[in-house]
């Protein structure tokens, strides 16, 4: 029982790992011995983060735009040129759009659905050969989809496409878990509450105190909170868990 959370020697891909939650998860993986690939659209950002994380282990940054299937195929082929298999895929890259109901634009719908939902499906599909290649009786491959508490409860903000995309990711996680269980590929999701990031910067600056009042544990999420959840869902500790969504929000949603 000593190595239940051992991720050492595994190969992981964390999409959108250049900052925020993706960088927190990538750091947790790298520090615990996993060779970790991160990506983002901005070469400078992803290179810099990969360089910083490489102080703790092995982290490689790749530039990619995951909003189209062509961009996803290019990203997967970049990884396939370097690796014969991957053990863990974290579908984390995402974006948010807020606008009043009467003005909500089509671009705010399509952009969010493309990166938050479509990319999760096609990254899974295109990475399957590399994930399948890592499966052994004692090594289940892992897919972790980063959803949100906004996919489980109605958000306070007018982020219509965002909350719909996250609810869809949670259900797609169940569907893919059922389909892939026989291939020893586990598919789970994490629904984070409030974590500091580029995405939440403005909301946290304006509403932090009000948000803290709603969170029973009375604090914003820290890197260890999300990295710990991802480590659990990547290791032997969770080998009997698939199709589930792990809520990491200080108790917010369950006590709403
Ligand atoms: N922070 C929270 O409190 C919170 C709560 C619930 C759920 N989440 C979820 O957690 C995930 C990460 O969010 P975050 O808060 O860490 O946001 P963030 O700081 O804005 O990070 C988003 C990441 O995704 C990348 N990205 C965005 N669009 C991309 C594209 N088309 N192709 C490739 N990469 C792309 C970004 O890099 P580039 O912009 O350089 O491409 C960046 O690395 C998202 O799925 C979000 O919905 C966050």
Residue 254 belongs to some domain of the structure: no
CATH number at residue 107: 3.40.50.720
Quote the tokens at residue 56.
Answer: 């703790």
Give the pLDDT score at 52: 98
210 is a domain residue: yes
- Cα–Cα dist 25/190, whole Å: 11
Q: How many domains would you assign to the chain? A: 1
Nearest to 130 by CA among 121, 120, 143: 143
Can you tell me the distance from the alpha carbon of 115 to that of 99, in angstroms, rounded to the nearest whole number? 18
6 within domain boundaries:
no
Q: Domain residues for 69?
A: 11-247
Rounded CA separation 230/146 (Å)? 10
Ligand 1 centroid – CA 137 distance (Å): 33
Is residue 157 in some structural domain?
yes
Separation between Cα atoms, residue 92 and residue 243, nearest integer Å: 17
**Is 240 an active-site residue?**
no
- Do the domain assignments include residue 136? yes
Instruction: Establish if 169 belongs to a structural domain.
Output: yes
Q: How far is the CA of 95 from the centre of ligand 1 (A)?
A: 5
Kindly give the confidence (pLDDT) of every residue in the chain, 256 residues in length, as a single tens digit, with 9 standing for 90 and above: 999 999 999 999 999 999 999 999 999 999 999 999 999 999 999 999 999 999 999 999 999 999 999 999 999 999 999 999 999 999 999 999 999 999 999 999 999 999 999 999 999 999 999 999 999 999 999 999 999 999 999 999 999 999 999 999 999 999 999 999 999 999 999 999 999 999 999 999 999 999 999 999 999 999 999 999 999 999 999 999 999 999 999 999 999 8
Q: Bridge partners of 13?
A: 37, 89
Please state the pTM of the whole predicted model.
Answer: 0.98
Q: Name the active-site residue from 37, 122, 162, 232.
A: 162
Decide whether any atom of ligand 1 lies within 6 Å of the 208 Cβ.
no
Does residue 2 lie in a domain region? no
Query: Residue 252 domain-assigned?
Result: no
């Amino acid at each position: 029982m000593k190595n239940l959370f051992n991720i050492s020697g595994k190969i992981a891909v964390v999409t959108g790992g250049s900052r925020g939650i993706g960088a927190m998860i990538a750091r947790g993986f790298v520090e615990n011995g996993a060779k970790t690939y991160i990506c983002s659209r901005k070469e400078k950002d992803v290179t810099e983060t990969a360089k910083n994380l490489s102080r703790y282990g092995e982290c490689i940054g790749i530039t990619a735009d995951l909003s189209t299937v062509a961009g996803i195929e290019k990203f997967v082929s970049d990884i396939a040129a370097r690796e014969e298999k991957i053990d863990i895929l974290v579908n984390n890259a995402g974006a948010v759009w807020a606008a009043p109901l009467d003005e909500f634009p089509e671009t705010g719908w399509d952009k969010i659905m493309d990166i938050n939902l479509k990319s999760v499906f096609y990254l899974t599909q295109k990475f399957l050969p590399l994930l399948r290649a890592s499966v052994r009786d004692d090594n289940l491959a892992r897919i972790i989809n980063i959803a949100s508490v906004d996919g489980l409860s109605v958000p306070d903000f007018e982020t219509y496409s965002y909350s719909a995309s996250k609810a869809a990711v949670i259900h797609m996680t169940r569907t893919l878990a059922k389909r892939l269980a026989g291939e020893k590929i586990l598919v789970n999701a994490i629904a984070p509450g409030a974590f500091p990031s580029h995405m939440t910067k403005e909301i946290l600056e304006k509403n932090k105190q009000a948000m803290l009042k709603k969170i029973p544990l009375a604090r914003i999420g820290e890197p260890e909170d999300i990295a710990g959840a991802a480590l659990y869902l990547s290791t032997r500790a969770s080998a009997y868990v698939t199709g589930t969504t792990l809520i990491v929000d200080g108790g917010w949603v369950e006590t709403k």
